[in-house]
Amino acid sequence: MLDDPALRLAQETVTYGELLLVGAATGLLDSAGATTTRALRVLESELVQPGRDDLRTEAVAFRNARRLQSGEDLRAWLASRQLTTADWEGYLRRSVAARSDLEVPEIPIAEPAFESALVVDLACSGWWRTVADETERYWSAGCLSAGGTSSVESVPGQASLKSDDDSTRASAERLAGSLQALGTLEVGWCAARLHVLRWRQRALELAERTYISDEAVAGRIADHTLDWVRFVFDEICLPTRAAAKEALMCFREDGIAPGEIARRAGRPLEHHDLRRERVPAAMAALLSGAVEEEALGPLESDLGVHVLWLHERRLPSLEDPAIRQEAASELLAEALERAAAGRAHAVGPL
């Protein structure tokens, strides 16, 4: 399996072996392994014993997420990943167990049992897709840095890479046998690919610094000043217009607090902190012109009749860390997408 092609990046073919190496080098494999270990310990200690209903719910969610509507679809999906129905059912049990918030004893897990479970969990959880996406990000960053190309041959120093480089060699030796149930990787090959990966990681770090600058972020905020206004508000959804009008009157004339109004109506008082673009258009229009702490409505929708209380309307600002991060992330994602230019394609099941 490790020699099979998984991803095509322009003229470069990425094997499952390289994805495994990227996952091991970036900590993604360790993270997945910790989840599998926890699940096995939960099941071994019998802290959680998933019932039939639990497994059925987990199975339905799994199939819906992957659009596996028929039994034939599921069997084909498993076969493409060399998995059996029993493998899948084991994964469902571990998925339920891993979500337990109980304290788990440090029960030793036999290495063969752990690796066998981990191989199945990687395939069923979407781990290969996650690592493929990260690999594509690094490659795209290399394209940005190298002016449109990020082939292995174009990486600076690749032609003169020495297999006895101490740091690279030590890392390669450690990572070569990361998941022996899938096979082992040749140390010299690992060293060469680690050299490429580290160069692309540095290219990504450089791109991240570029797109988090004040100038870049300020430009993106200016482009989205209206869309990125945040509304902090409370909402009650009532069944009728008459009930909504009564709620408004209770607040405006009797000074009854929104929480008490919601309690009397038997409806939840929902608190929201949302960007304008994530608020229904009619509601956003009402909140845009509202006076803070006044009751708004009634506003009808398919869900019912809404009464709102606006607490804060925040314009996007460079001083807001969340806005800075969102703007920088969008700018970087767009730059990486342009650099990839549609040249990245999965060629194996992820």
Q: How far apart are CA 234 and CA 148, in angstroms?
A: 49
What is residue 155's DSSP assignment?
A: S
- Phi and psi dihedrals of 271, rounded to 5? -100, 135
Residues in contact with 56: Cβ distance below 8 Å, sequence separation at least 6, in sequence order: none
pLDDT band of 121, cuts 50, 70, 90: very high
Q: How confident is the model at residue 149 (pLDDT cuts 50, 70, 90)?
A: low
Which DSSP category does 233 fall into? E
As given in the structure block, the two tokens for residue 289 are 């012109």
| Parallel, antiparallel or unpaired: strands 295-301 and 270-275 | unpaired
User: pLDDT grade, residue 155 (50/70/90)?
Assistant: low
Q: Give the mean pLDDT of the chain.
A: 89
Q: Which segments within the chain are labelled E, that is strand?
A: 5-9, 12-15, 230-238, 270-275, 295-301, 304-314, 344-346
User: Tens digit of pLDDT for each residue in 289-310?
Assistant: 899 999 999 999 999 999 999 9
Strand ranges of the sheet holding 295-301, from the earlier edge strand across to the other edge: 270-275, 230-238, 304-314, 295-301
276 Cβ contact list (under 8 Å, min separation 6): 226, 227, 228, 229, 230, 231, 284, 288
The pLDDT tens digits of the residues spanning 67-83 come to 999 999 999 999 999 99
User: In which band, very low, low, confident or very high, does the pLDDT at 323 lie, cut at 50, 70 and 90?
Assistant: confident
Work out the number of other CB atoms within 10 angstroms of the CB of residue 254.
9
CATH architecture of structural domain 230-314: Roll (3.10)
| Sequence spans of domains, the chain | 230-314
Distance CA 162, CA 26 (A): 22
For 242-279, the pLDDT digits (tens) are 999 999 999 999 999 999 999 999 999 999 999 898 89
Q: Is a pLDDT exceeding 80 seen at residue 285? A: yes
Q: Is the pTM of this model over 0.85?
A: no
CA atoms within a 13 Å half-sphere pointing along the CA-CB vector of 234 = 16
Report DSSP letters for 10-77, one per residue.
TTEEEEHHHHHHHHHHTTHHHHHHHHHHHHHHHHHTTS----HHHHHHHHHHHHHHTT--SHHHHHHH
